[in-house]
Amino acid sequence: MTAVIDDFGTYVRARREALRASDASFSVRQVAKRVGIEPAYLSKIERGEMPPPGEETIRKLAHELGEDADVLLALAGKVSSDLREIIRRRPRLIADLIRQLKNAPDRAILRIVREVKDGDW
């Protein structure tokens, strides 16, 4: 059932090292500085010694690494606060829908996104 363990730190480290290969400014220190946290903290997060940081820090990190914030948040086991707010307003309806989507193929979900985007209601 997909391991959770330390996907987040491993993923961030891999991504940062990849960027670093062609740009020396992607060191732990410099990324941490740009994100606004201590280098030691980022180091520990990448090595899984500390759990993933809070939503805001994850967002800044995602931006810095050119990554999708939702993906990084997912790796951290968190749900974006704007999605939480949408669910909060219509919990029964949206909870039902999400549970229905559990076993739907990507293609079916994509189709629904397009349908809704076209606003055919």
Partner DNA sequence: ACGAACGTGTAGTATGTACTACATAGTCAT
Partner DNA sequence: ATGACTATGTAGTACATACTACACGTTCGT
Applying CB under 8 A, does 109 fall inside the site for a copy of itself? yes
Applying CB under 8 A, does 63 fall inside the site for a copy of itself? no
Asked if 31 and 42 touch (Cβ cutoff 8 Å), the reply is yes
Closest CA to 8 of 59, 73, 79, 80: 73
Residues 1 to 30 in contact with a copy of itself, rule: CB under 8 A = 2
- CA–CA separation, 28 and 98 (whole Å): 37
Applying CB under 8 A, does 86 fall inside the site for a copy of itself? yes
Q: What is the DSSP letter of 115?
A: H
Residues 43 to 72 in contact with DNA, rule: CB under 7 A = 43-44, 46-47, 49-57
| Binding-site partner at residue 30 among a copy of itself, DNA, none, CB < 5 to 8 Å by type | DNA
Residues that bind a copy of itself (CB under 8 A): 2, 68, 70-71, 73-74, 77-80, 82-84, 86-102, 104-113, 115-117, 119, 121
